[in-house]
Amino acid sequence: MLMHDLSGKTGLIVGVANKRSIAWAIAKAASEAGARLAVTYQGERLEENVRDLTADLTNPLVLPCDVTNDQQIADLFGAIDREFGGLDFMVHGAAFAPREELAAPFVQTTREGFRLSLDISAYSLVALSRWALPLMERRGGGSILTLTYLGSERVFQNYNVMGVAKAALEACVRYLAADLGPKGIRVNAISAGPIKTLAASGISGFSGILQHYRDRAPLRRTVDTSEVADAAMFLLGPGGRAVTAEVLMVDGGYHATGM
Ligand X SMILES: NC(=O)c1ccc[n+]([C@@H]2O[C@H](COP(=O)([O-])OP(=O)(O)OC[C@H]3O[C@@H](n4cnc5c(N)ncnc54)[C@H](O)[C@@H]3O)[C@@H](O)[C@H]2O)c1
- Give the active site residues: 149, 159
Q: How far is the CB of 119 from ligand X (least distance, A)?
A: 8
Q: How far is the CB of 3 from ligand X (least distance, A)?
A: 24
Element (H, E) at 92: strand 89-92
Indicate which single residue of 10, 13, 15, 57 sits in contact with ligand X (rule: CB under 6 A). Answer: 15
30 near ligand X, judged by CB under 6 A: no
94 near ligand X, judged by CB under 6 A: yes
21 near ligand X, judged by CB under 6 A: yes
Residues 124-183 that bind ligand X (CB under 6 A): 147-149
Contact 246, 207 (CB under 8 A): no
Characterise 173 by phi-psi region: left (phi > 0), alpha (psi -120 to 50), beta (else): alpha
Q: In terms of Cα–Cα distance, which of 174, 172, 202, 185 is closest to 236?
A: 185
Q: Which one of the spans 1-9, 76-84, 90-98, 102-110 is the region binding ligand X (CB under 6 A)?
A: 90-98
Residue placing its CB nearer to ligand X in the complex, 1 or 65? 65
Q: Which one of the spans 52-60, 198-206, 212-220, 239-247 is the region binding ligand X (CB under 6 A)?
A: 198-206
- DSSP reduced 3-state for 245: coil
Q: How far is the CB of 229 from ligand X (least distance, A)?
A: 11
197 near ligand X, judged by CB under 6 A: yes
Query: Quick one: DSSP state of residue 182?
Result: G
- Number of residues forming the site for ligand X (CB under 6 A): 27
- Quick note: the x/- pattern for ligand X over 106-125, rule CB under 6 A, is --------------x-----
Indicate which single residue of 103, 104, 167, 200 sits in contact with ligand X (rule: CB under 6 A). Answer: 200
Residue placing its CB nearer to ligand X in the complex, 103 or 184? 103
How would DSSP label each residue in 133-153? HHHHHHTT-EEEEEEE-GGGT
93 near ligand X, judged by CB under 6 A: yes
22 near ligand X, judged by CB under 6 A: yes
Helical H segments across the chain, by residue range: 22-32, 44-54, 70-84, 111-118, 124-138, 160-180, 206-216, 225-236
Element (H, E) at 41: strand 36-41
Q: What is the largest CA-CA distance in the chain?
A: 54
Residues 52-81 that bind ligand X (CB under 6 A): 65-68
Indicate which single residue of 53, 173, 199, 233 sits in contact with ligand X (rule: CB under 6 A). Answer: 199
End-to-end CA, the chain: 42
Contact 241, 193 (CB under 8 A): no
Residue 224: partners with Cβ closer than 8 Å, 6 or more residues away:
195
**What does the binding site for ligand X look like in residue numbers (CB under 6 A)?**
15-17, 21-23, 42, 46, 65-68, 93-96, 120, 147-149, 192, 194-195, 197-200
